[in-house]
Amino acid sequence: MASALMTAVPAPPAGLYVPSGVYRPQADTGLLARALAHEGIGPGTEVMDIGTGSGALALLAASRGARVTAVDVSRRAVAAARMNGVRLGLPLSVLHGDFAAVSRGRRFDLVLANPPYVPSPRARLPGHGPRRAWEGGLAGRQVIDRICERAAALLRPGGVLLMVHSALCGPRTTVEHLRRTGLSAEIPMRAVVPWGPVLRSRRAWLQEQGFVGAGEDREGLVIVRAERTGR
């Protein structure tokens, strides 16, 4: 049964460098970190972190001995994650670009994903700037669906995907999409958090589109866990 909790925005790990324009660890990062704590990783585990931002989750996996490849479309985020690896003495391979392109031909034991998932009045995703960290297109699912499509190819047999996103984006749609690709999938963890500034700024549009009701000011977050059980 999925657990639900009210969670505060966590502080960045001690010593983490998060420059302006790079996604700062927030409640979704914290929830994904809690899910990661339940996975059996250690030396030899191959991990991919999609949308690494400052590298907070990649560093957490590396601190447990995993070999981590972190990816982000933001050059500033890539530089920050590399710097944080050096500052904290943890080895990371940090790559710039689209996760599907840079991972082609590789498989992992664990894939972490905190994709942009906020529904946006604009169908086209931003090509630059900090908004790339949260803008998910009209339904908030443009990047989520791409990860779902690629997940089976990214995972080794027994490999696991852990992805966090908003309940506004249709968690059951994510689970069903992953199951159609042959993965087992479930929602083992949920959280409820206060709206941040992005959701508050587009309250009227979200209500017009039917994403939220009048007076809502709490956002549900979910962890979707998918596993490749076959060969």
Q: Is residue 72, in this structure, part of any structural domain at all? A: yes
Residue 228's φ and ψ, nearest 5 degrees, are -90, 105
CATH number of the domain residue 91 falls in: 3.40.50.150
Residues 6+ apart with CB under 8 A from 190: 2, 3, 4, 5, 167, 220, 221, 222, 223
Q: Is residue 6, in this structure, part of any structural domain at all? A: no
Order of strands, sheet of 3-6, starting from the edge strand that comes earlier in the sequence: 3-6, 184-194, 218-227, 155-166, 108-113, 46-50, 67-72, 93-96
Structure confidence at residue 13 (pLDDT): 61
Structure confidence at residue 11 (pLDDT): 46
Q: Is residue 3, in this structure, part of any structural domain at all? A: no
DSSP state of 35: H
Q: Is residue 92, in this structure, part of any structural domain at all? A: yes
Tell me which residue range forms the domain holding 119.
23-227
User: Mean pLDDT by 10-residue block, N- to C-terminus, for the chain (231 residues)?
Assistant: 48 76 93 95 95 96 96 97 95 95 94 97 91 95 97 97 97 98 97 94 95 93 94 67
SS3 124: coil
Q: What does DSSP say about strands 218-227 and 155-166: parallel, antiparallel, or unpaired?
A: antiparallel
Describe the crossing of helices 56-63 and 75-88 by its angle, rounded to 10 degrees.
30
Structure confidence at residue 95 (pLDDT): 97
Domain count, the chain: 1
Q: Is residue 1, in this structure, part of any structural domain at all? A: no
CA angle 6-8-12, nearest 5°? 145
